[in-house]
Amino acid sequence: MRHLLSAGDLSRDEAIQILDTAEELLNVASRPIKKLPTLRGRTVVNLFYEDSTRTRISFEAAAKRLSADVINFSAKGSSVSKGESLKDTALTLQAMGADAVVIRHHLSGAPHRLASSGWMHGAIVNAGDGTHEHPTQALLDAFTMRRHLGDLTDRRITIVGDVLHSRVARSNALLLSTLGAEVTLVAPPTLLPVGVEKWPVHTTYDLDSALHKADAVMMLRVQAERMQNAYFPSAREYSRRYGLDARRMGMLPDHAIVMHPGPMNRGMEISAEVADSVRSVIVEQVTNGVAVRMAVLYLLLSGSNESDPIPESLV
């Protein structure tokens, strides 16, 4: 593994290795000294072109717990707002000796461009690109499910909401099917992407029918900032047909867990009562996120990456 660009690139063995590694690293959080010396002297750059709180601080905490140096670069208030291109930013980071770049970008494919361009030689981690993918979120979701449900083979996972704009849904669908789970996407027809029939998932428009056999239900955020068109008549109607409230939670099997990648729109896709219930693992997802990202950084950065020396022309 050289980069982490898509959850679909992971083989089952690689995915299991990340999850097993994260399992061990989760214990670090409960120790008096929450730090490992493993990535001492390595530099991790958080390159964020899009607003993010939890993903950025999660990666920052993960890198710092492994003793890496962290440089946070957000597009706002940087030379990007003066019109610097991704290429020039990448060359700058390369010249500063970035060993890994964690990139979030509003355009799908930006991490892939960075990884395949030859502009820089560090490992690239996709922290969310446009409406494409968010692999570490899928890994932490799978990790959380595994802790509650055990092996995910043949487990039924229901993902509900704005699949069209959701990189979380895509990464989860890919990773969960690699891990052998059965994924059902629930959304209004307007919020299912074109080509979803080629995904390794089932789809339905009816939430109630997808609850009684679900082992985990994942509510997606309604992404108002990505919705220029009217995808559904009103917030109230969306909430009534696709929101998870106490009545619907009652239809789930007793062992089923409720998840949300955050940030939540309480009262929209998930009611406050459900979000705060004992079956909700939403806060736990955040804790697990740090362990999973530590595992990813460890596996990408600790080994010998016999990366070719930097061509003179780029320095």
Partner 1 sequence: MSSTSASPRARVVLDDRDISRALTRITHEILERNRDSRGLVILGIPTRGVHLASRIAARMSEVEGRTIAHGALDITMYRDDLRMKPARALEHTSIPEDIDGKTVVLIDDVLFSGRTIRAALDALSDIGRPRAVQLAVLVDRGHRELPIRADFVGKNLPTSLSEKVRVRLSESDEADQVTIEGGEAA
Tell me the closest approach of the beta carbon of residue 18 to partner 1, in angstroms. 10
Structure tokens at 84: 């610097």
CB of 17 or CB of 78, closer to partner 1: 17
Q: Report the nearest approach of partner 1 to the CB of residue 60 (Å).
A: 19
Q: How far is the CB of 119 from partner 1 (least distance, A)?
A: 24
Cβ-based nearer residue to partner 1, 274 or 290: 290
SS3 label, residue 72: strand
Q: Is 242 exposed, middle or buried (0-12, 13-18, 19+ CB in 10 A)?
A: buried
User: Cα 226 from chain centroid?
Assistant: 17
Q: In the chain, at which residue ranges do the beta strands (DSSP E only) sit?
A: 43-48, 69-74, 100-105, 123-129, 156-160, 182-186, 202-204, 216-219, 257-259
Residue 36 CB, shortest distance to partner 1, in Å, is 4
Closest distance to partner 1 from the beta carbon of 302 (Å): 5
Contact 112, 130 (CB under 8 A): no
Q: Which helix (H) or strand (E) holds 302?
A: none
Q: How far is the CB of 202 from partner 1 (least distance, A)?
A: 34
C-alpha distance from residue 53 to each of 48, 56, 59, 114, 262 (Å): 10, 6, 10, 22, 10
In 11-82, where does DSSP find H-type helix?
12-26, 54-65
DSSP string, 135-148: HHHHHHHHHHHHHH
Q: Which residues bind partner 1 (CB under 8 A)?
A: 17, 20-21, 24-25, 27, 31-33, 35-38, 66, 298-300, 302-304
301 vs 184: CA distance, rounded Å: 35
Q: Compute the least distance from the CB of residue 209 to partner 1, in Å.
A: 41
Helix (H, G, I), strand (E, B) or coil at 156: strand
CB nearer to partner 1: pick between 14 and 284: 14
Work out how close the CB of 64 gets to partner 1 at its nearest, in angstroms, rounded to a whole number.
14
Compare residues 9 and 245 and give the one whose CB is closer to partner 1: 9
**Residue 2 or 247 having the CB closest to partner 1:** 2
φ/ψ (deg, to 5) at 159: -115, 125
Whole-number Å distance between alpha carbons of 241 and 23: 37
The two three-digit tokens of residue 158, written as one number: 């229901």
In the block, tokens 């804790």 appear at 287
Minimum Å distance from CB 38 to partner 1?
A: 4
DSSP state of 66: T
Distance CA 170, CA 202 (A): 13
